């Protein structure tokens, strides 16, 4: 969905397969200590949309951040049900404070929901996105939200320097559990 084209009677449904994609990974454990540098991760294909390459290249140019980037040439590395590939993806998110959660083939990101589910902080660049439950969630407070790729460095560093990173991870997990878990969003939508 594109925000500029969204009609007043249209609502974004959150991604329903987050838990099954991640093999119902549990429990949630925040990175307890704020390290010396932000760690920004990404594990996935860069071929689904050219913006992914742009944003990764932008991240690579930022000094004083640790990059935890694993590039794949195919969706789920060409092996979407391979336990090792799924484990690598999960560990990439869990071992990063932030994960680049940019659009793929469609103007949305399954990774966005997966990062929240695992209790980490999505880094999102606006591509005319509609985020779930915008009327209930202050996304600009909860995640690193950039209006353009030119905002990535400043917004990331500002978030890192002004937020309690452990509490932000906990908040991201709470957002998932409260609004984005399938049972929860079905209830909200039917209300």
Residue 186 confidence (pLDDT) above 80? yes
Output the CA angle 40-41-47, nearest 5 degrees. Answer: 125
| Four-residue CA torsion sign, 168, 169, 172, 174 | negative
More confident residue, 45 or 143: 143
Residue 17's pLDDT band (cuts 50, 70, 90): confident
One-character DSSP codes across 13-49: PPPTTHHHHTTT--------S--SS-EEEEEEESSS-
Residue 77 confidence (pLDDT) above 70? no
Residue 27 confidence (pLDDT) above 70? no
What pLDDT, on a 0 to 100 scale, did the predictor assign at position 78? 66
Q: Where are the domains of the chain?
A: 36-190
Tell me the whole-structure pTM to 2 decimals.
0.93
- Residue 132 CA to residue 52 CA, distance in Å, equals 21
Question: Which tens digits make up the pLDDT trace of 163-179?
Answer: 999 999 999 999 999 99
Strand 39-45 to 98-100 pairing: parallel
Alpha helices in the chain (DSSP H): 18-21, 50-60, 83-94, 110-117, 139-142, 152-162, 165-175, 182-190
Q: So what's the architecture of 36-190 in CATH? A: 3-Layer(aba) Sandwich (3.40)
């Amino acid at each position: 969905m594109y925000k500029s084209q969204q009609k007043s009677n249209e609502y974004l449904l959150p991604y329903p397969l987050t838990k099954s994609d991640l093999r119902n990974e549990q429990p949630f454990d925040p990175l307890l200590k704020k390290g010396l540098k932000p760690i920004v991760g990404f594990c996935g294909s860069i071929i689904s949309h050219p913006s992914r390459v742009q944003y990764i290249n932008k991240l690579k140019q930022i000094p004083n951040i640790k990059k935890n980037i694993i590039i794949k040439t195919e969706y789920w590395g060409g092996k979407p049900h391979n336990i090792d590939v799924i484990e690598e993806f999960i560990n990439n998110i869990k071992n990063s404070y932030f994960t680049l959660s940019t659009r793929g083939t469609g103007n949305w990101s399954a990774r966005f929901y997966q990062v929240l589910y695992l209790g980490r902080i999505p880094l999102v660049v606006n591509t005319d996105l509609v985020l779930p439950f915008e009327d209930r969630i202050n996304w600009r407070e909860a995640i690193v939200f950039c209006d353009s790729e030119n905002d990535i460095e400043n917004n990331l560093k500002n978030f890192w320097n002004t937020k309690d990173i452990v509490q932000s991870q906990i908040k991201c997990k709470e957002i998932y559990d409260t609004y984005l878990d399938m049972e929860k969003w079905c209830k909200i939508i039917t209300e």
